[in-house]
Amino acid sequence: MRDQLETVAARDAGLLTTAALQERGISPHRVGSLVSSGVLVRVRHGMYVEGSQWRAATADERYVYFVRATAAGARRPAVLSHVSAAALHGLPTVGPWPRAVHTIDEDATGGSNGRFTVRHRNVAQPGTVRIQGIVVTSLVRTLIDVATTSSFLVGVVMVDHALGVEQRRVRDESKLGIRGVPALTKADLLAELERVNPRTGAQRARQVIHFANALSANPGETLGRVRMFELGFEVPELQVHFAVNGNDYWVDYFWRGVRKIGEFDGLLKYTRGAVLGDRDPADVVVAEKLHEDELRPLVNSFCRWTWDIAISPRLFHRFLLEHDVPRA
């Protein structure tokens, strides 16, 4: 049975349809038993994922499964857009993904909601790309749609990530002697915003684009920077270089006027294999302490916080006050 399920799942990147399962001789009654026992997880009507894959999946990956299952079961083709396109483009978010799939629909007279879909009226013909066999809005259009309809925080998290990934892509291609497509820029985003000319959200999108910074290393660092801005504190420089005893360090945040270093500690470096590599968690903690000890003599103060503090405006405001972070 396991081999049968893996074979079916491999045909569509993890998704198993009722029809494909029946082709393998697995009856609807048997599918129901597999769901009850946790061997399969039902993502949408007639769409399943192996239970082990679902349980190991991140929130981002589970939403992508849901988006793909919804697109596969749609009665007519649609262009996925907004946060649904963002998920397929690999853009991160802060907070939960929606329990709906967003599309651009030529026939929609405005934003209209079904049980699992949100249809948006097409204000300007979007560029499209195909990801995992699904037609989605282009990266630049997706970012504009998100920035005009989502919170300032979510918009900045996605634009920060996209700008950083694009710059790294071009650098990597250059090292290989490849002259590919130029990196996405803020000018590209502003031009797309002008072209789309949305009825609402344009001012917020403009603010998102101007505030975005390709140097932000991850969503947690973006979260801290957005919180500082929203709470009225000075927004620091990012990824500032320090050379100490022959070692090179880049700190997350630096307030040059008061010579203060800030570091976001997402804790995943101590728990996630992909980040930890072959190192023991205790060795990573010691390395972080030595890193901090080398930097402290070069500055006036040093503070470090975690996700749980940054995600709460109340806790982060108190933390910033207690650690003398300068006001804007």
Q: How large is the average pLDDT for residues 276-285? A: 52
Residue 213 vs residue 45, higher pLDDT: 213
Residue corresponding to tokens 């650098």: 171
Residue corresponding to tokens 């198993």: 16
Residue corresponding to tokens 């008061």: 258
The DSSP secondary structure of 62-113, one letter per residue, reads: HHHHHHHHHHHT-SS--EE-HHHHHHHTT---SSPPPSSEEEEETT-SS-EE
Local confidence band at 180 (pLDDT 50, 70, 90 cut-offs): confident
Contacts for 162 with CB less than 8 Å, ≥ 6 apart: 89, 91, 139, 143, 184
Which pLDDT value is given to residue 26? Answer: 84
Which pLDDT value is given to residue 158? Answer: 98
Local confidence band at 208 (pLDDT 50, 70, 90 cut-offs): very high
Render pLDDT for 95-152 as a digit per residue (tens, 0 to 9).
999 999 999 987 655 555 667 899 998 888 899 999 999 999 999 999 999 999 999 9
Among 14-23, 53-62, 236-245, the range scoring the smallest mean pLDDT is 14-23
Exposed / middle / buried, residue 246 (Cβ in 10 Å: 0-12, 13-18, 19+): exposed
What tokens were used for 223?
A: 């979260």
- Report which residue type is found at 18: T
Distance CA 150, CA 141 (A): 14
Q: Does residue 162 have a pLDDT over 70?
A: yes
What tokens were used for 136?
A: 């989605």
Contacts for 183 with CB less than 8 Å, ≥ 6 apart: 163, 166, 167, 169, 170
The DSSP secondary structure of 233-293, one letter per residue, reads: BPPPEEEEEEEETTEEEEEEEEEGGGTEEEEEE-SGGGT-HHHHTTS-HHHHHHHHHHHHH
Q: Which of 20-29, 120-129, 166-175, 274-283 has the highest mean pLDDT?
A: 166-175
Which pLDDT value is given to residue 268? Answer: 47
